[in-house]
A and B are shown apart, each in its own frame.
Chain A
Amino acid sequence: MRKSLLDHLLDWAGRIVLIAILAFVLLPFVVVAIASFNDGAILSFPPREWSWRWYANAFQYRDFGAGLTNSLKIAVFGATIALIAGAGFAYVLDRYEFRFKNTLNGILMSPLIIPNFTIGLGLLILSAAASLPRNLWLVVATHVVIVMPFVVRSVYVSLQNFERRFEQAAESLGGSPWHVLRTITLPLLAPGLASGGLFAAILSFNEFTASLFVVNQSTQTLPVAMYNYVREYADPTLAAVSVIYVLAVAVILLIVHKFFRLEKVLNVE
């Protein structure tokens, strides 16, 4: 059957809307990417002269290197701790009935409604009151509080969809609860756990507001370093850093995607 004129119009309208949405989402990045190649020392758009020099500057600027190192450390430690604690909590939530279960769940989920700056401020006051050192672990702790609810949610959903018959079959075959957890439950949940951990790491890597409160000069994260830079200089270095940032995250995601396809090949679904 031939398409009517209306169908064609709808077709085209659909495509235009799709492109518009994509453009809207990508526009900020595109603008920043173009601005990063501007030779001039002020962030102007569109650029008149092109150059790589802000990229060179980005790599030479000390605070960015240190910030990146801090951010990576914090993301790795924070995501790992949040994953272990969050997965454990999700498991308990899914498998056990106990008093105050709902209350505990509510408290754990509250960071979703408490703004990040409140969490940062709260931990700052707390660490000062307890005269804790303002080292990297304080930042890690802050990030754990922020990302853990997301991990709990994602692992909880995987557990809800988990086929309990696998565990029952394994138990009937003589597997003790601990053995079954190691040989059946964890391997089958691995993709869900990995995606939860990855999600936590990316959230932590991007976190700015709460970090601003709890970092000092030596523990500042990359986003905080960028913020401090832009308060002093208005050149396109920051645009260059942004582009590097986005590319780095994209590369990590691609690698993980490969890893997940591999998981599929191994039939861990």
Chain B
Amino acid sequence: MSSETRNDAAVQIDGVSKSFSGTVALEPIWLKIRRGEFLTLLGPSGCGKTTLLNLIAGFLEADEGELFIDRELVTQVPPHQREIGIVFQNYALFPHMTVAQNVAYGLRTRRVSKAETAERVAEALALVKLQDFADRRPRQLSGGQQQRVALARALVIRPRVLLLDEPFSALDRNLRTAMQVELREIQTRLGLTTVFVTHDQNEALSMSDRIAVMSQGRVRQIGAPDDIYDRPANLFVSTFVGDANLFDATLQGVQGGAAELIVGGAPLPVETYQEDLPEPGPVTLFVRPEQCRLTGAEEQGAVPAIVALSVYQGSYAELHLDCAAARGGRIMLRVPAAKALPAGIPVGIALPRTGPAIYAVEDADKEVA
């Protein structure tokens, strides 16, 4: 079993860490990236995403730990021998070369014959739909076109791994969505192992096979998008990915698989997906907005709240509620726009019995994203 999973890993990161003159950028990290998978590194600014990518690419040397690509130990291998494709946010197209020369660069370093180079460059440009731009200079292209050239340049060498560092964050929204779809299509078609860095949770959720959520130089959770969203492993992940409503609650104990909670004065038995629950006592209850149901103020067991603000969002409205039981005194719910309520109306919030997560209070104090 263990040898099988090992064979499966296109990239294996074994306890790799990195500090810059005393400041820890990356704590020791263990990570296996499966062959052909689209893995996203997601996390706030400064959490070490680029550092990890630079370590995989070989631009940085790890302080400790080992790195394997296709089971080959590459910790000491220089970047130009790692056969990795890389795409940067600012494209880094060589300004003194044409589009075709840019794409051909990685073939010329490999001494591929002229005829084959021409063929593969044309193929790569066709893949990103830029056949007609071969003779242009990079600065004569739009941002989206430049990013596609950068992608073609990285793909043409048939890399063992493709690394992308926030490749679309300089593009406007529509183009960005189009590029996301395009990249995912190409990646799937080529079966290319891909590590994608972003701090945009929607991008991460919509594109990835798996997401590694990072903060402060550590991987906080790794899993499929729905794992991350529906079953966050800790408070940091729950608040960084998606919207979160947090309640102050008291955990009384666990009975018959359900955690006995008191929220807003009312008892609430909750079945959670968590394996480890905090000690009985004050805890933080995490619920997604879509898991909360709006009720009348008098409803039995509902947490009382008062509408503070209603924000129209087109197809729905965001209701911001003042709620004494909530951490920070505020929670948010989405309702159909037609059902929006004016400020000052007292309401009740019915909490779900399955789905929410329970975290220790200390975690909440240091971890809310």
Binding site for B on A (CB under 8 A): 163, 165-166, 168-177, 179-180, 183-184, 187-188, 266-269
Bound form: Cα–Cα A169–B96 in Å: 14
Task: For chain B, give the interface size range.
Answer: 20 to 34
Q: Decide if A169 touches B88 in the complex (CB within 8 Å).
A: yes
Q: Give the chain B neighbours of A168 by CB distance below 8 A.
A: 57, 59, 79, 86, 88, 92
Q: Decide if A267 touches B95 in the complex (CB within 8 Å).
A: yes
Which one of A170, A177, A266, A268 contacts B105 once the chains associate, using CB atoms below 8 Å?
A: A170
Chain A residue nearest to B82 in the complex (CB)? A172
Q: Decide if B92 touches A176 in the complex (CB within 8 Å).
A: no
Q: Decide if B79 touches A188 in the complex (CB within 8 Å).
A: no
Q: Decide if A175 touches B92 in the complex (CB within 8 Å).
A: no
**Main SS class of interface, A:** helix
Q: Give the chain B neighbours of A266 by CB distance below 8 A.
A: 96
Q: Decide if A173 touches B96 in the complex (CB within 8 Å).
A: no
Bound form: Cα–Cα A174–B57 in Å: 12
Q: How far is the CB of A198 from chain B (nearest CB, A)?
A: 20
Known: A168-B59, A172-B82, A173-B154. 20 other contacts (CB 8 A): A163-B90, A165-B90, A165-B92, A168-B79, A169-B153, A170-B105, A171-B78, A171-B80, A172-B79, A173-B105, A173-B106, A174-B80, A174-B106, A177-B78, A187-B96, A188-B95, A267-B137, A267-B138, A268-B95, A268-B96
Q: Give the chain B neighbours of A173 by CB distance below 8 A.
A: 80, 105-106, 109, 153-154, 157
Bound form: Cα–Cα A168–B139 in Å: 20
**How many residue pairs, one in A and one in B, have C-beta atoms under 8 Å apart?**
72
Q: Decide if B153 touches A267 in the complex (CB within 8 Å).
A: no
Instruction: Please encode chain B, from 112 to 136, with 1 for each CB lying within 8 Å of some chain A CB and 0 for all others.
Output: 0000000000000000000000000
| 7 pairs from A and B in contact (CB 8 Å cutoff) | A169-B150, A170-B94, A172-B86, A173-B105, A174-B109, A176-B80, A269-B95
Q: Give the chain B neighbours of A165 by CB distance below 8 A.
A: 88, 90, 92
B173 interfacial contact with A, CB 8 Å: no
Q: How far is the CB of A213 from chain B (nearest CB, A)?
A: 44
Q: Give the chain A neighbours of B95 by CB distance below 8 A.
A: 188, 267-269
Q: Give the chain A neighbours of B84 by CB distance below 8 A.
A: 172
Q: Give the chain A neighbours of B86 by CB distance below 8 A.
A: 168-169, 172
Instruction: Please encode chain B, from 68 to 105, with 1 for each CB lying within 8 Å of some chain A CB and 0 for all others.
Output: 00000000001111111110101010111000000001
Instruction: Please encode chain B, from 52 to 69, with 1 for each CB lying within 8 Å of some chain A CB and 0 for all others.
Output: 000001110000000000
Task: Pick from B84, B90, B105, B138 the residue with the most CB of A within 10 Å.
Answer: B105
B110 interfacial contact with A, CB 8 Å: yes
Report the 10 A-B pairs with minimum CB-CB distance, sorted nearest first. A173-B106, A174-B109, A165-B92, A171-B79, A172-B86, A169-B92, A171-B80, A175-B109, A267-B95, A268-B96
Task: Pick from A166, A172, A183, A188 the residue with the most CB of B within 10 Å.
Answer: A172
Known: A165-B88, A267-B137. Is A172-B96 also a contact (CB below 8 A)? no
Q: How far is the CB of A269 from chain B (nearest CB, A)?
A: 7
Chain B residue nearest to A166 in the complex (CB)? B92
Q: Decide if A163 touches B110 in the complex (CB within 8 Å).
A: no
